[in-house]
């Protein structure tokens, strides 16, 4: 008896039990289909997990970059820097401003 015949007889039973051959073939195909579906779902889950890890790393790097930009914004917006920029642009400090009031709108007078 060849190996294929032994496999056939082990799956489908003896020659006189051929009435169960269809059921055995159907069971085997359902088992294989279930295995393939399971493997596909596991692969999809692992892919999502790896993608989430990559996105998490990107999020952490963006948070660090955001903190650095906030520090730079704070530095550039400090009064000392604003005063230096004003001097660099040759702006004059105004101590007293007079306002002209008209019909609801406010105008500044120098």
For the stretch 27-65, pLDDT in tens is 899 999 999 999 999 999 999 999 999 999 999 999 999
Q: Of residues 16 and 84, which shows the higher confidence score?
A: 84
* Residue carrying the six token digits 């007293």: 96
Cα separation, 53 vs 46, whole angstroms: 11
pTM above 0.85, yes or no: no
Choice between 84 and 42, residue whose per-residue pLDDT is larger: 42
Q: Which regions of the chain does DSSP assign to beta strands (E)? A: 98-101, 106-109
pLDDT band at 15 (very low <50, low <70, confident <90, very high): low
Q: Are 21 and 8 in contact (CB under 8 A)?
A: no
Residue 89 pLDDT level (bands cut at 50, 70, 90): confident
């Amino acid at each position: 008896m060849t190996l294929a015949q032994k496999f056939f007889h082990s799956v489908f039973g003896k020659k006189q039990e051929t009435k169960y051959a269809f059921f055995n073939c159907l069971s085997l195909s359902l088992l294989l289909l279930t295995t393939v579906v399971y493997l596909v779902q596991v692969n999809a889950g692992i892919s999502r997990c790896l993608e989430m890890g990559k996105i998490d790393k990107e999020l952490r790097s963006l948070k660090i970059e955001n903190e650095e930009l906030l520090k730079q914004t704070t530095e550039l917006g400090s009064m000392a820097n604003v005063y230096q920029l004003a001097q660099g642009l040759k702006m004059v400090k105004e101590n007293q401003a007079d306002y002209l009031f008209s019909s609801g709108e406010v105008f500044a007078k120098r």
